[in-house]
Each structure stands twice: as structure tokens, then as C-alpha cells.
Structure 1
Amino acid sequence: MSNQPRVAKVLAALLVSMTVGAVVLMALGNNPPSEGVFSLSTYYLKNLDSVEEAVRSSAYQSAGRWDRVEIYYSGTKGGNIKQLTSLSGLAGTEDINCHFVICNGLGAGDGQIQSTEKWKRQWSMISGRTWYGSGKTIRICVIADGKSALPTDSQRQMTRELVKELRRRFEIQTDSVYYPNNW
């Protein structure tokens, strides 16, 4: 029975450490630490929510509406939907010729997915001097120039997650997804 003092000390230490941990968590409230231990579950929950939110639209989405996904570079080192619209000399953001923009941290959050009005209304892209695709193609613009400004790891990951969700939702085949040459 000489172990009883040791057991009591261990239980007391456990009780104190759990109490301190609980006090720290309550002090943080809903504001988790900005840096520290990486939580894979938190990362995936946050990113999956943003992908599902981006894919959602106000218009009806039918499985056969889209049959191809094309990813291309913006040709810029930074930006977002509004900045791309301005650089292209377009009248408004509804005129941008893509469905999604994946930002790189220079103009919007790194890996942030922005849905365009064309996507929200389920409109097709307009063929023009730089693109001759079909009306069933989903276009994803990744903010990068493909040379000196390559996509970030977050952009690549979020693009993969977005493509995965689009393929699942619209039954798009793997060989109907096109990435830039140096992806």
C-alpha cells in the first residue's frame, strides 16, 4: 500500500492539468489559436464547406448540364474577380469569362474560391479570340501567370477539391478535366 501517495499525486496532477486546459479553452472562446498544432479535421471541414458553398448556385443544376472542366491561368501575378474584370476592360463582374476564380493571397485569400455570376446563373462561357470551348465546359481561372507566378499549394489543393466536387455533382469523367501544361 506504499503506492497510495503516488496514485494520489498522479490523480491530483491530472485534475490540475485538465482544469488548466479547460480554463485556457474557455478563455479562447470561439477564437482558436492562429498558429500552432495543425488540425487536419478543421482544415478539411473549413475547405469542404467553402467548396460546397462555391459550387452552390441559385439556378437549377442538372447532371447533364456540364461535361468538361478546364483550368487555366489568369496571366496575372495577383487579383480577384473584380480586379480581373477591371484589367480585362469589362463593364462588370458578370462579364468575366469563367465560372470560378481561385485566388493566391494577392487580392483575396490564398486558395479562396470565388464563384462568378455566370456560375451562379449556370450560364455557358462565350467563345472568343482566346477560347473556343463548348457550352458545356466549366472554366476555372487560377490566379497565376504560369511562369514567374506559379499556383500556390493552397490553390492547387482547392482546385483539386473543386474539380472533385464538380466531377461528383455533374458526373464528369476524369479524362474530361484539362489542366494547364505546367500544372
Structure 2
Amino acid sequence: MDEVWPRLVHEYARAELIPAYVGAVAVWIVSTPFRRITDAFLLQVWRVLRLNGGMWFEIAARYQEVLQNRELRQLRGPAYAYALWSALFAVPVQVLRDSEVEYGRYGRMHRSWWLAGQVTLGEYGPELLVRTVRSLGRYGRASGEACLLAGRRVFAVMHGVGWLLLLLLSLAIHVPMAIYDLMEFSLC
């Protein structure tokens, strides 16, 4: 060890390397706040990625449990589709409610968004869709009936105009003949 230390000092502590060492230390000191900011930012990015990854893993696992539920698998048709659609929003809300301590404010914020989506798209949306389809059906039937009635009215008007034209044509032919016959009878 006695021989190694002097050799290291002689090799790396030369006078021409001192400005490089001072520069490296200065850069290290000056860049410390930026490194701390970058480290804090990357730490938060990692925390959010870890939280989101864990949250999505739990949601996927819970959704698999829902898909394997016997009661759900016995449903058929629109009831099955509606149950899956509702579960799409209900499962994340339930996972975030169960893991509220683990996710903290971040989880409460996500739960609020999922709850808003559940109310808007899970409960209100399908009912709105059904009512809209029914309204469009009624509107289509009413429009068809209105067009049919309008067509009947146009036909009735055209039919009446046709009869009126036939009457006028008949009068145009027979009135002069009747006047001629009257004049011939009265003058002869």
C-alpha cells in the first residue's frame, strides 16, 4: 500500500490535471439543483407509472373475476351486454374504493373520474340510447304516416280537380249545344 499511494498521486494529481478536476467539481456543484429536479421528476414519473400499472393490473384481475361469474354468464342478449358495459365502469370504481389507502389522493381523483363515467356512460348512456332509438322509431313512423296522409290529401285534391275539369269540359261542350237547341226550338 505504501508504494501504491505515491504512484496514484504522481499519476492523477499532476498540476496540469488540476483545472480539469476543479472544472468537474464546479460542474457537479452547479448541476446539483438540476439533477435534484430531474431526479424528483423521474421519481414521480416512476411512482405514477407504478401506481397506474398496479391499478390497471388490479382492475384487469377483478374484471376477469367478473367475467367468470356464474350469474353473469347465464345472462343472454342485451342483458349480458348491458352487464358487461356496466362492469366496465363499476370494476375500477370498486378497485379504487377498496385500495383507497394505497392510492391516496391520486386514487380518489381517478375514482371520481371513473364514477362520473359510470353515471354518465354506464347508467345514463344506455337508457339514453334506448330512448333515442325508440324516439327515432316513433319519429320515423310518424313521418311515414304524415307523408302517407299528405300523399292522400294531394291525391284527393288532384282527384277533385280532375272531376272539376271534367265537369267544366262537359259544360263547355253541352252548354253551347243546349243553347243551340233552345234557340232552334224557340225560333222554329
The two structures have a TM-score, normalised by structure 1, of: 0.26
Higher RCO (Cα < 8 Å, 6 or more apart): 1
The structure with more strand, counted as a fraction of residues? 1
The two structures have a TM-score, normalised by structure 2, of: 0.25
